[in-house]
């Protein structure tokens, strides 16, 4: 998760806030990938937009080319009190100064799930065992209202399946034909993002008691 954007609707005192979580959209046609001079970012076999941190030279072309503004540059070396050492995630390294960072969908958790479920137990990593064994991205696991759902869009039995089918079948030029509340951020740019948002349903719209 990179940031939460806030939007205000209405006028005082009848005001409502809209909150939209913005993270890397892991685009199928990511504009950040082809501009990297050292190929530090690329598309993985799972469809994730992956960043190789020890290859990054800090050119920042990817930051300039990301329309979602979800890439960040480390201008300083990370520092923290010694008492915080035990809070660091042992599965990932703390990136140094001069490195571009982004949301990875907690790829280290997905890799751990693949090793545990597929290789050790002979099963297949799916929506159910991802949730049961804490293999979900941290933002999806920690959200107290379950506003974030993570899954495999190729798995037709997954909860997210119908929404991806809907946006894939009806592109931006036929979005009014969609049967679900799904939409994509900056869909008109043709980046083919792999994060779907659902239009909010107001139980009590503004101006109604």
Residue 154 lies in a domain: yes
User: Does residue 86 share a domain with residue 100?
Assistant: yes
C-alpha dist (Å) from residue 9 to 12, 16, 79, 195 = 9, 5, 39, 24
- Specify whether 110 is located in the same domain as 155: no
CA distances for 80 relative to 2, 76, 77, 85, 88, angstroms: 20, 12, 10, 8, 10
pLDDT for 157: 76
Shared domain for 34 and 93, answered yes or no, is yes
Tracing tokens 């239009």 back to the chain, one arrives at 199
In a domain, 35, yes or no: yes
Is 209 domain-assigned?
Answer: no
Residues 83-109 as b or e (16 or more Cβ within 10 Å = b) = eeeeeeeeeeeebeeebbbbbbbbbeb
Residues 98 and 110 in one domain: no
Does residue 96 sit in the same domain as residue 143? no
Q: Are residues 154 and 140 part of one domain?
A: no
Are residues 119 and 195 both part of a single domain?
no
Residues 113 and 97 in one domain: no
Q: Do 139 and 155 belong together in one domain? A: no
Are 128 and 166 in the same domain? no
**Residue ranges making up the domain that contains 69:** 1-105
pLDDT the model gives residue 136: 86
Q: Is residue 64 part of a domain?
A: yes
A 10 A CB-CB count for 168 gives 10
- CATH code of the domain containing 67: 3.30.70.20
Interatomic CA distance for residues 194 and 205, integer angstroms = 30
pLDDT in tens, the chain (209 residues): 788 999 888 888 888 888 999 999 999 999 999 999 999 999 998 889 999 999 999 999 999 999 999 999 999 988 889 888 888 888 888 888 999 999 999 988 888 888 887 777 777 777 666 766 678 898 998 999 889 988 888 777 788 888 888 888 888 888 888 888 899 999 999 999 999 999 887 766 666 55
Q: Is residue 139 part of a domain?
A: yes
Q: How many domains does the chain have?
A: 3
Considering the domain architecture, whether residues 157 and 87 belong to the same structural domain is answered as no
- Comparing C-alpha atoms, which of 158, 132, 117, 46 is closest to residue 150? 158
Adjacent-strand bridge partners of 8: 17
Among 31, 25, 33, CA closest to 56:
33
Query: 208 in a domain, yes or no?
Result: no
Give the Cα separation of 115 and 99 in Å (integer): 28
Q: What is the pLDDT of residue 208?
A: 58
Residue 85 is assigned to a structural domain of this protein: yes
CA–CA separation, 103 and 109 (whole Å) = 13
- The answer to whether residues 184 and 130 belong to one domain is no
Final residue of a structural domain among 52, 79, 105: 105
């Amino acid at each position: 998760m990179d940031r939460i954007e806030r939007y205000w609707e209405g006028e005082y005192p009848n005001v409502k806030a809209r909150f939209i979580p913005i993270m890397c959209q892991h685009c199928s046609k990511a504009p950040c990938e082809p501009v990297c001079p050292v190929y530090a970012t690329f598309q993985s076999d799972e469809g994730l937009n992956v960043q190789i941190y020890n290859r990054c030279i800090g050119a920042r072309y990817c930051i300039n080319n990301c329309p979602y503004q979800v890439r960040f540059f480390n201008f300083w070396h990370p520092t923290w009190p010694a008492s915080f050492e035990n809070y660091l995630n042992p599965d990932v390294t703390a990136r140094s100064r001069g490195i571009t960072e982004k949301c990875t969908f907690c790829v280290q958790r997905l890799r751990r799930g693949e090793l545990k479920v597929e290789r050790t137990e002979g099963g297949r990593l799916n929506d159910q065992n991802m949730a049961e064994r804490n293999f979900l991205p941290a933002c999806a696991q920690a959200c107290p209202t379950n506003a974030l759902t993570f899954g495999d869009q190729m798995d037709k039995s997954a909860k997210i399946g119908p929404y991806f089918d809907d946006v894939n079948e009806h592109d931006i030029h036929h979005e009014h034909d969609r049967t679900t509340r799904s939409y994509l951020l900056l869909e008109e740019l043709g980046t083919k993002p792999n994060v779907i948002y659902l239009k909010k349903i107001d139980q009590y719209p503004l101006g109604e008691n």
